[in-house]
Amino acid sequence: MLHGGVAIREILGLGVHFASRISNTSAGPVFGDFVQAAGTVNYLTAEFPFWEPREVRVISRRAIRTFAERHPDAMGPLLHWANATEAVDWKTPGDVRRTFNTADFVGDLTVFDVGGNKYRVIAFVHYRRRAVYIKDVLTHKEYGKGVWRR
């Protein structure tokens, strides 16, 4: 809907609105312009830019360091896991399984087997933000007790 050079759009039918200016440039879409393709209108605005990080981030490596203080032999495999995780671009749980075929999905959490099944990294993977939030790092024995599920 156009009114006085301002486009108003309802997003996902949730009653959320925002306005963007429409410029008359022929160089293609820029901030403030709109693009119409396949019957839909997408607005590119400086007020609401679409931003996604480019690489996966492991948050926080402190959990790995803390665990490695108690289990020094775990540092190598855990850093290898963290580096491998940051080198991929996961969009779905299937992508996680292709990278780590022993990963298990328990509710919203992903459990990674690390170091030849000696250690477990329990994490929440946020696919759109490309972030892996470490909830806990445990030995196989600690994991079996199920304390992490609380």
Shared domain for 100 and 65, answered yes or no, is: yes
Shared domain for 34 and 64, answered yes or no, is: no
Which tens digit of pLDDT belongs to each residue from 11-60? 333 333 334 444 444 454 444 444 444 445 555 545 545 555 667 899 98
**pTM metric for this prediction:** 0.64
Domain count, the chain: 2
Answer whether residue 52 is part of any domain.
no
Shared domain for 73 and 113, answered yes or no, is: yes
Distances (CA, A) of 49 to 30, 35, 45, 57: 11, 15, 6, 21
Which tens digit of pLDDT belongs to each residue from 68-80? 999 999 999 999 9
Shared domain for 20 and 82, answered yes or no, is: no
Q: Residue 128's domain is classified under what CATH number?
A: 3.30.2310.20
Answer whether residue 69 is part of any domain.
yes
Answer whether residue 129 is part of any domain.
yes
| 148 or 47, greater pLDDT | 148
Shared domain for 31 and 83, answered yes or no, is: no
Q: Which domain holds residue 126?
A: 57-149
Shared domain for 89 and 134, answered yes or no, is: yes
Shared domain for 6 and 68, answered yes or no, is: no
Shared domain for 31 and 102, answered yes or no, is: no
Distances (CA, A) of 118 to 3, 20, 77, 114, 141: 63, 54, 10, 6, 8
| 111 or 39, greater pLDDT | 111
Answer whether residue 131 is part of any domain.
yes
What pLDDT sits at residue 138? 95
